[in-house]
Structure 1
Amino acid sequence: MIIDRILSCEEIISGDSAENSASVVSELLPEHQYTREQPFYIDITKVNSEVRASLEQTFSQKVSALRKIHLFSFRQGVVFGQGSVVTANSALIRDSVAEFINHNLAPEGSTASGTSFKIDNFDNLRCLHGTSVLVKRPWYRNYGHWLVDLMPILPLLEKGNFVVNNIIFGDVPEGNLKLMMEKSAALLYPTANVVFAGDHEVLKCEQLYYVRPVHVPPLFKHPDAITQSVELSRKLFPSSSSIKHKRVYISRNKTNTRRIVNEEELTSVLSANGFVTIYPESMNISEQIAIFENSEVTIGVKGAAFTNSIFCNKNCHIVLLSPPRFTDPFFWDLISQRGIKFSEIYCREPDNQTSTDISNTDLHVNMESISALMKLL
């Protein structure tokens, strides 16, 4: 299948599209503008002038964009790769692939052919009858993006009394993420067929429901969608009442990326200030929710575990430690809009750093900055 046209959700909403297989079914969420609180404490002494200018520009954006969230229907819609959507008339839905085409990349599961794209494995497509809902999009394997981007979809449809025969998730390994998907489907759509689609699979849906993204990087996350994730998570995974640490350090040193090379020095200082070290990968979902619900201060390296900050109480303080070039404002946007105090310390890279991925470099924490922050807590 050759894709030679790109179509946006906005064009379908406005009626500017001649696509007769696509329609707007419903407005799921109204426009909701929100403000972002400035960081309580920010240390950018270890970043270069270019990064500093970028951060200053980011933190100046105090008010979000306005965006409604619509539900679309595509007759004979095709799904491939990481949740890319193609209409019956071979138009690629821009909103489903923005993370690829905005960086001049062919969407996963396709090959660029001049100004067009060819879907790989189209000859082996699988047909789904009835109404299917897509709960898969770029970065779906990431716990944080599941909570923010995808978990709100099923409760929004269920509250709108929409009938769903098939639920299309991304194919994730056994673990907490897959458990959340399975339990969400079982609670909200117990009779639906659940499909865990690999990125190499191509699905053709008799009717495809597609929800306009509730998260548009870098600085839009619909607050009402996040509320849906919080409410559903708490219903599926009641927090563990036995975990009530007030000061928590989230360690990444059992992972392969973004490790703190002077963690022993850091934990010594944190322990002296009442912090308990936690390894989230060894905890179940209820325990992770409890950690963030009950904490007054949580500190750690920027990563998916901090998406659990959506469960924090309003008096909590989140402190992120970041590699010096990893300026993604995902967590500032997420945390500040919920009225939670946010701080960030940009650290230096170790002298023997070999990774070229700016988001995954190890880091050396400036203890002077940590000591200064401790005095403010």
Structure 2
Amino acid sequence: MATTKLKNQLRYSAIKSLKALRLPSLRYYPSKEISLKEYLKKGRLSKIRDLGEDKFILTLPNGRVWSSNGTIITEDNTFIKEINRNSNDGSKNIIFYQKSIIKPVKIDGCAVVVAVPWGSVYYHWMVDVLPRLELVKEAGLFENIDHLVINEVQKDFQLVVLNKIGIPLSKTIQVKDIWNTHYQFDQLIVPSFVSEPNRSDLLTILSIEKHFPSLETNSRIEDLPKKIYLGRTKANNRKLLNESDILPFLMMHGFEEIFPENHTVSEQAEIFRNAQIIVGVHGSALTNIVFCKPDTTVFDIAAPEWINNCFQDICELKKLHYIRIIGDKFLRTKDIDKGADIHLSKAKVIFLQESILQLL
């Protein structure tokens, strides 16, 4: 069976051939893909505010936003690489694999766009969206905008962040799907990405910590668990199939099972700041290790189909001890990658147990 990447390459070649025919259905398809430096050299009617360290805010006249991925297309139908995200597998942006793109809805006024792929997911909201919001806020631009183009607001943590930044829901345009979203604004303000896809840098960490500082006066801090296990039984995928092989051991040694989604972000921050050992299946809940104190130990249980260094990056930045435990690869009934469930062999279970005992 051909891989997804190969299928995308074939699809891209076919659509590229169709573009030469100038079909009306491909009218809004990007005609070229260039770097920001090349675009600015052409003297386009845009302006850029350089924030240093490869951070910037770009303003595009009549800029367009396509899909819930927040894909940016300029007035002259150009795709600028630095302000758009490609797929994790190295394929091009998903816009290049579409048979057609709907006509943009023209909206008067000035808009800021911070929508990103999977932006409604806790990890991507905190690591990708929040730092970009912070760039715009620090530049003092929110006071003069009419709209904020953002991923669909589905969770309380999103409302909390918008409230802290000072953006009312009435100003948001929430992009909810890929094919039926396409807007054009008089002015489009595009903050740069703060870090690479599925990566973090120091500004990412500082942006999150700034909005969720330690509650030193919290009288309940002494009651918070020092050792926590992040359960994923409520998740739709990426579950630990033989959780029963490790959970009794963890409970016996003083661990408390935590479901972060049952807590506010501020409560999650306090739980993780107080923790000394964290065991979790690879998922958004581990984003909260940004709040941990140095020398905290983090066990990241992952499937071999989805090895991602996003939490290892945070551990390095925060001076935490990171240990990845990779489950067994076994026959799947369908093609699964990042959503694959996890099974730990007996040897891996013993390794986890012995590693924890050395910390107690």
TM-score, structure 2 as length reference: 0.81
The 5-angstrom pairing of residues 176-187 of structure 1 reads 176-185=156-165, 187=166
Counterpart Cα distance in 2 of 1:92 and 1:153: 20
Is the 1:323–1:346 contact (alpha carbons within 8 Å) kept by the matching residues of 2?
A: yes
Partner of residue 276, structure 1: 256
Partner of residue 83, structure 1: 70
Counterpart Cα distance in 2 of 1:265 and 1:164: 56
Is the 1:19–1:89 contact (alpha carbons within 8 Å) kept by the matching residues of 2?
A: no
Is the 2:153–2:174 contact (alpha carbons within 8 Å) kept by the matching residues of 1?
A: yes
Match of 2:150 among 169, 179, 187: 169
Match of 1:72 among 55, 58, 73: 58
Partner of residue 144, structure 1: 123
Partner of residue 306, structure 2: 326
Q: For residues 327 and 191 of structure 1, do their structure 2 counterparts lie closer, same or farther at Cα, with a shift above 3 Å needed?
A: closer
Q: For residues 76 and 111 of structure 1, do their structure 2 counterparts lie closer, same or farther at Cα, with a shift above 3 Å needed?
A: same
Q: For residues 105 and 26 of structure 1, do their structure 2 counterparts lie closer, same or farther at Cα, with a shift above 3 Å needed?
A: closer
Counterpart Cα distance in 2 of 1:191 and 1:321: 37
Q: Which amino acid aligns with 1:133?
A: V
Partner of residue 308, structure 1: 288
Partner of residue 97, structure 1: 84
Structure 1 residue 84: Cα displacement: 0.6
Structure 1 residue 7: Cα displacement: 2.6
Partner of residue 2, structure 1: 29
Structure 1 residue 297: Cα displacement: 0.7
Q: Any unmatched runs of 5+ in structure 2?
A: 1-27
Match of 1:225 among 186, 201, 204: 204
1:323-351 deviation digits (Å, cap 9, x = unpaired): 123211111112212211111111214x6
Q: Which amino acid aligns with 1:5?
A: K
Is the 2:71–2:85 contact (alpha carbons within 8 Å) kept by the matching residues of 1?
A: no
The 5-angstrom pairing of residues 179-218 of structure 1 reads 179-185=159-165, 187=166, 189=167, 193-199=171-177, 200-217=180-197
> Aligned-residue CA RMSD in angstroms?
2.7
Is the 2:102–2:182 contact (alpha carbons within 8 Å) kept by the matching residues of 1?
A: yes
Query: Higher strand fraction: Structure 1 or Structure 2?
Result: 1
Is the 1:314–1:340 contact (alpha carbons within 8 Å) kept by the matching residues of 2?
A: yes
Partner of residue 18, structure 1: 42
Q: Which amino acid aligns with 2:266?
A: S
Counterpart Cα distance in 1 of 2:90 and 2:134: 32
Counterpart Cα distance in 2 of 1:341 and 1:333: 11
Identity, % of aligned positions: 21
Counterpart Cα distance in 2 of 1:210 and 1:370: 44
> What SS does the aligned partner of 1:136 have?
coil
Q: Which amino acid aligns with 1:18?
A: K
Is the 2:132–2:192 contact (alpha carbons within 8 Å) kept by the matching residues of 1?
A: no
Q: For residues 195 and 257 of structure 1, do their structure 2 counterparts lie closer, same or farther at Cα, with a shift above 3 Å needed?
A: same
> What SS does the aligned partner of 1:362 have?
coil
Q: Which amino acid aligns with 1:2?
A: Y
Q: Which amino acid aligns with 2:63?
A: G
Structure 1 residue 240: Cα displacement: 8.9
Query: Higher helix fraction: Structure 1 or Structure 2?
Result: 2
Number of residues of Structure 1 aligned to a counterpart in Structure 2: 322
Match of 1:358 among 331, 337, 349: 337
The 5-angstrom pairing of residues 22-171 of structure 1 reads 22-27=46-51, 30-31=52-53, 68-81=54-67, 82-100=69-87, 103-105=90-92, 107=94, 112=98, 118=100, 120-123=101-104, 125-129=105-109, 131-162=110-141, 163-165=143-145, 166-171=147-152
Q: Which amino acid aligns with 1:193?
A: K
Counterpart Cα distance in 2 of 1:158 and 1:308: 23
Is the 2:149–2:172 contact (alpha carbons within 8 Å) kept by the matching residues of 1?
A: yes
Q: Any unmatched runs of 5+ in structure 1?
A: 32-67
Q: For residues 191 and 164 of structure 1, do their structure 2 counterparts lie closer, same or farther at Cα, with a shift above 3 Å needed?
A: farther
